[in-house]
Amino acid sequence: MSSKKSNPNKTVRCKRFELSSIALVSKLLAAGFIVQAGTALATPFPLAQQPAGTGGREPAPNVIITVDDSGSMSEVVGGGNNKTKISELKNSLISQFGDSTANPPTKGKLEDDRIRLAWQAMHNNGNAPGAGSLTAGGTNTIRSFSGTHRVNFNTFINSLSANGGTPSHKMMQQVYNYMKLPQGTNSPWADVPGSTQTTPYMACRRTYHIFMTDGGWNGEDNQTVGNADGVASMLGDGITSYAPAGSDQLNVYKDIWGGTIGVESTLADFAFASWANDLQPDLPNNIQPLIRKSGSELVGNINLQEFWNPKNNPAAWQHIVTNTIGFGAGAVSWKTGNALIPPFFDTVNNNTYGGDYSRLVNGLVSWPDPSALGLDGRPVELWHMALNGRGKFYPAKSADALSAAFADILDNVINDTSKPLVSVSANTSRIRTNTLFYSAGYDGKEWSGYLKAYKVTNSGIATNPEWNAADLLDAVTPINRVVLSHNGTSGVPFRWNSLPTTAPATQQTLLNSTDNRGSDRVDYLRGIRTAEGTDVASLRTRTSILGDIVNSNILYLGAPSSSIKAPGYSAFITANAARTPMLYIGGNDGMLHGFVASTGQERIAYVPAGSYANLVNYTKQSYTHKYFVDGSAFSGDVRVVPSTTSVWKSYLAGFMAAGGKGYFVLDVTDPTAANFSESNASSLVVLDNTVPSDNDVGNIFSQPSKDPADDARAVQFAMMNNDRPALILGNGVNSTNERPVLLIQYLDGAKEIFKLVASATAGQSNGLNNPQVIDVNNDGKADLVYAGDLLGNMWKFDLSASTQADWKVSFNNNPLFTAADSGGSPQPIMAAPVWLPHPKGGIMLGFGTGRNLTSSDRTDTSQQTLYAVWDNSLVTVAANGGLTITDDATQRIVNGRTSLVSQSMGTTVQASYAGRSFFTFAANKVNYETTGINPNRRGWYMNFTEPGERGSSNSYWFGGDYVVIPSAKPAAGTDSNTETCSLTSKPEVGYLTVVNLISGAPPNIPVFDTDGGGFTGSEVISSKVSNQSDSIFFRKGANTGDLQDGKNNPGLFTRLLSNPGLTTGWRER
């Protein structure tokens, strides 16, 4: 099969191939090995959503619920509700905890295993198993809330009936004693109570007590923990002293009642003892403090310290947080003869910290003696209990208020135990110019990001940054930020009134969610901080409005400098020679950010349409990390009007990667403040396809593919042979159709997509990845594309014809080569191949295999391989520039690696320096001739030597016939579904292999500085280096300064090869 394009006015540049009127060598091979569709899974990949080692979740908390089934619960609720309190209690519990006995079962607010639950009733009148006490191993004791345990709880609820008194003290004592049980099979602190455990208990597990009653207690039952809140003691950390006498910090907790001889402890004493005492002294104090009000808070005239502020829970020891609910009129207000005793609670706003709270803190009113108050006054203890137990009091006068109380408590429990278990930070992207070194990354504590710039001098990189873009962004007035988005039709300002409310892009609806706070969320994302807080009703607190930066690489875009030879381009370079250099990077705050490279000031940000579906979660207290704009942007210069006027633009292609499907394109030609403005939104946003209607568009993990002779170009931006500019992409992973497709996104006219489907079989869990675009005859237009897929197929696409209808998948819709290990298992190809012309004609491709998409990929150790394969298809370039490409199925490499020569990288360390190890190998000859020893070879392969090592990043040209193949053992650590108190994390280990792409041989001169002394003759010859830094410095001679890699390590120095013309006909740089 062949395709042709011709233009008698074209100038032939034979320097690249020396192919004028000369046919390349064509080698016919028999048909053979192809991966069958049946071996693939038709299940989308569960893409990782957190950096490795930051994904562990806090252990499910212990929740103990105490309910009142005393005789007064048989009374009607009142206020127009004639149902009994006990029946409404049942309804409220079922509405929030679910009903496993219903058909169909319901779960309320709690998914299976989200908490571990125990329960008790004051009298257990319904005789539910064990519910009258908390006895180790009982049916009602701590177990994961799922399966049989859910059913048992529903049986308990349904059995509730009202009779008897209100022995509240007994209930508090039972909870206290139960949580103090020593370690053992039925310990409430065991990972799986009821099972034998040999590993240490998770000492960071939280415990909550929900105490619900309808009024004052009676019958103290000789329970006591002393006057816990009224006498001096040492708190559970063994360091902090609680000394109420004379301390103005402790007024809100202390009283003088209870615990003396003949007088039982108050309920508030039990709540305080349950919080203040270390209930498990044999376990380390690993519970993370919850600080809702940081620093001191002025309450009246008292400057209340953070530790003693009842809004906070600073306890790291094993303790109980007590929340109390008063149900019915008798439990939400209290009567005494003295208006000041007991204190007044704010029943209008139901605010635990309202009413006489300030007077309590200031010692202007004190807690009364509950024994002397009588039944009408005793409910005041519910408020005191909650403050002493660092919880909240919920006065519930109605059934709806009771349900709302349970709901809010469970919301807080979920929120408290959804915080990320991370305090790690990581540099994730680094680049260097002549004057500044840039480093981007994240702090996992609150998922904030940073982009820092350091001065570069002859002596190295400065220790302290010149600026941090996060700090500068936090100082900007949010209303002045230029933040753009797309409304489904065109670019718009990212402001509430600019977002659509109707289909297909119901962005306001998505942001409103269920609480109608969409406008607040837009303000929040723009940088307004007033809605932030730590309570459930507030939006999540951030340390910076710049979100974490994890997988997005920094794109530095200065003046145009490509070697494109096309009408008008030289004038475009001249016109933009003084263009302000910019840094573009994606953040997991839902935006791509553009910063001025010299100052760090943000000049533009963009919210892709695909971000909206998850922006609500980003603002929630219970936010679990998710990727948003996590892909790496790249740029290219595009002739958008291919006519005599030749209008050129610099376009940026952006990707959400694991954060979402599709891509977007921005016009970044003119980054001046005058042009980067909201009024220009419709022209700056060229297109947004991040909510794709096309079932072949998936999550695209794109990287810029470079022309070996022009590394300033990302070749995916290309002029097509039909004279239309386009962005060329693989369709990525997890498309609806799950098949490999080449996307040609036009950038002019209707901006439609043209697709070349490599394999029409859908449902293969497959997709096409990073493409390499080749202009064979140097006319500035895309002729060939090579790209690999997840099933190991390397596809070739012929775009050389002048009409779109003649573009095709080469080799009669079959792959050039399929990568598989020695056992025949497919090896996925994510990286674009690096290419060079083969000395016998045709094209040599180099690429690594392996993927890193899911959490399980990080620890996968299946064998991956570096391949170099020769496409020997017939190519003819006529004198007038006309191009003929001939290939058919007989030219494919059908026998897999048996058609290649095996090479083996040595594992013996040749040299070590600055934490790096250097390796080399002895190559086997690759015979491309038709005669001789082992003839007719189509390339070579080399297995990566380290378990888990893979080559999923694009390779690049090094010099002559030599290329650089990056590989890595991915970072790994605690999985996001794993309960843990401490995260485990292994950093990524990167490798670089320099190899002759044609012969498969290592360099014959030193290319790495293996001893730090420069290239003075003492270094050893090596081909591979283990390199934990991506900072590489090129130097011909000895070092003139100790340049660093941004981690205070010496940079990796490589030799600039002085003779790049090692391949006949190669175009010099």
DSSP 269-289: HHHHHHHHS-S-TTS---PPP
DSSP 649-680: EEEEEEE-GGG-SSEEEEE-S--STTTSSGGG
Q: What are phi and psi of 426, to 5 degrees?
A: -150, 140
Structure tokens of 685?
């946003």
Cα–Cα distances (Å) from 868 to 832, 900, 1001, 1062, in that order, read 12, 8, 11, 17
Cα–chain center distance at 491? 26
- How crowded is the C-beta side of 630, counted as CA atoms within 13 Å? 24
Question: Where are the domains positioned within the chain?
Answer: 1-47+805-1069, 62-416, 468-698
Task: Specify the 3-state DSSP secondary structure of 479.
Answer: helix
Decide the pairing of beta strands 143-144 and 647-655. unpaired
Question: For the chain, what is the total number of helices (H) and then of strands (E)?
Answer: 16, 58
| CATH superfamily membership of 62-416 | von Willebrand factor, type A domain (3.40.50.410)
Q: Is the dihedral of CA 810, 811, 817, 818 positive or negative?
A: positive
What b-and-e string marks burial along 940-961, b requiring 16 or more CB atoms within 10 Å of the CB?
A: bbbbbebebbbbbbbbbbbbbb
Evaluate the CA torsion angle 834, 828, 717, 637 in order and state its sign: negative
Residues facing residue 919 across a β-bridge = 1024
Residues 292, 535: contact at Cβ < 8 Å?
Answer: yes
Q: What is the CA radius of gyration of the chain?
A: 34
| In the block, residue with structure tokens 């509950």 | 370
Task: Report how far apart, in Å, the C-alpha atoms of 989 and of each of 226, 816, 1053 are.
Answer: 58, 31, 18
Q: Is 129:143 a contact under the CB 8 Å cutoff? A: no
pLDDT of residue 35: 30
Q: Output DSSP code: residue 857.
A: G
Q: Which residues of the chain have pLDDT under 50?
A: 1-41, 423, 1028-1048, 1056-1069
Enter the tokens of residue 264. 């039982």
- Per-residue pLDDT, 1052: 60
CA distances from 714 to 701, 778, 880 (A): 15, 16, 27
From 26, 27, 14, 21, select the one nearest 776 (Cα to Cα).
14
- Residues 12, 17, 22, 24, Cα dihedral to 10°: -140
| Contact by Cβ (8 Å): 860, 827 | no
Beta strand 582-586 with 592-596 is antiparallel
Copy the structure tokens of residue 951. Answer: 């080559």
Nearest to 1031 by CA among 992, 996, 995: 992
Report residue 123 as tokens. Answer: 């009298």
Q: Where are the strands (E) in 317-421, listed by range?
A: 321-327, 393-396
CA distance 689 to 486: 10
Closest by Cα among 898, 911, 932, 901 to 1001: 901
Which of 706, 717, 751 has the alpha carbon at shortest distance from 639?
717
Beta pairing, strands 436-443 & 448-457: antiparallel
Q: Which residue do the tokens 């059908």 mark? A: 894
- The pairing of strands 793-798 and 207-213 is unpaired
Question: What is the rounded distance in angstroms from the CA atom of residue 68 to the CA atom of residue 85?
Answer: 10
Three-state SS letters, 866-893? EEEEEECCEEEECCCCCEEEECCHHHCC
What is the secondary structure of 33-91 as a DSSP string?
A: ----GGGS--S---B--S-TT---BPPPPEEEEEE--SGGGGSEEETTEEEEHHHHHHH
Q: Using CA atoms, how far apart are residues 29 and 24, in angstroms rounded to an integer?
A: 16
Distance CA 149, CA 142 (A): 9
Closest CA to 67 of 136, 135, 118, 101: 118
Which structure tokens are listed for 504?
């297909």
Closest CA to 315 of 243, 389, 376: 389
Q: For the residues of 1021-1040, what is the DSSP string, one character each?
A: P-SEEE-S---EEE-SSS-S
The 10s digit of each residue's pLDDT in 691-712 is 999 999 999 999 999 877 677 6
Residues 402/329, Cβ–Cβ less than 8 Å: no
Tell me how far apart the alpha carbons of residues 437 and 431 are, in angstroms, rounded to a whole number: 6
pLDDT attached to residue 314: 97
Cα 66 from Cα 50, distance rounded (Å): 38
Helix (H, G, I), strand (E, B) or coil at 944: coil
Please say whether the dihedral angle defined by the alpha carbons of residues 905, 906, 910 and 911, taken in this order, is positive or negative: positive
The C-alpha atoms of residue 63 and residue 80 are separated, in whole angstroms, by 33
In 739-842, beta strands by DSSP E: 741-746, 753-757, 768-774, 784-789, 793-798, 808-809, 817-818, 834-837
* pLDDT on residue 260: 67
Phi-psi region of 435 (alpha: psi -120 to 50; beta: other; left: phi over 0): alpha
